[in-house]
Amino acid sequence: MNETQFQSTYSQPTYTTNSSIYPTRTIEVAAQGKISTTYDVLDTSNSTVLYTIKSSYLLKPHLTFISPSDNQEVATVSFHNLSTKIDITIRGRTSTIKPKWRLKESYEYTSPTSGTQRTWKSEKLISSSMVCLDEKELALARWQVPKWSWTKLGRLEIVGDAVGGGETFEELIVTGMAVLIFRMRIAGVTAASGAGAASSAAAASV
């Protein structure tokens, strides 16, 4: 997929960065098939599969992130039937994402890598796009849901030092996916129902 095709699938960002100062990296998450419950995390610059995500609607963990290079488990995400909290584990470090519904939908957690507060929140009052902010309200990443696609779950644009990989890079991917799937679940859409439902489900949950 070339850049023009990729950009046409998503709405344009509402914020801009100077790439010479703030480097960016774009990641795409796509299902392996129309009804597949396995997803690939792709680097859009070279289509490399960075992680494979196995999902389960009923059994915990509900999301399991696997490194294809060594087939080792990297992270897990678990939801709860009687609580809105989201439990995440990344390379043995745990944290809990706590949804908040104020003027804008937000999801707060303590970073398992830095120990600081981070928040995923709706980019606008009514929006399927989310932005991740650090404790200083600086943007770390932006998650976009496609206008419509049977296989694409979304695009993650990572900004700053995390673009080179490492702990924060993994954390943004894991927490971004955790928030997306949570929003789909509360909208009554299972991960198994196809990535094409993601855009309408995420929008309906705000």
Give me the CATH number covering residue 138. Answer: 2.40.160.200
Number of domains making up the chain: 1
Contact (Cβ atoms closer than 8 angstroms) between residue 106 and residue 120 = yes
23 prior amide bond cis, ω within 30: no
Asked, for residue 87, whether it belongs to a domain, the answer is: yes
Residue 9: inside a domain:
no
Which residue range forms the structural domain that includes residue 188?
A: 21-204
**Is there a domain that residue 101 lies in?**
yes
Does residue 50 fall inside a structural domain? yes
| pLDDT > 70 in the chain, percent | 79
Tokens of 164: 């080179």
Q: Is residue 2 part of a domain?
A: no
Whether 159 maps to a domain, the answer reads yes
What percent of the chain shows pLDDT beyond 90? 53
User: Does 58 fall in a domain?
Assistant: yes
24 forms beta bridges with 159
Closest of 160, 131, 165 to residue 23, by C-alpha: 160
In the chain, the DSSP E strands lie at: 24-31, 38-43, 48-55, 63-67, 72-78, 86-90, 93-101, 105-110, 117-122, 130-133, 139-144, 152-159
How far apart are alpha carbons 79 and 86 in whole angstroms?
Answer: 5
Model confidence, pTM: 0.81
For 63-103, the pLDDT digits (tens) are 999 999 999 999 999 999 889 999 999 999 999 999 987 76
DSSP letter (8 states) at residue 11? P
Query: Taking residues 144-159, what's their average pLDDT?
Result: 84
In a domain, 10, yes or no: no
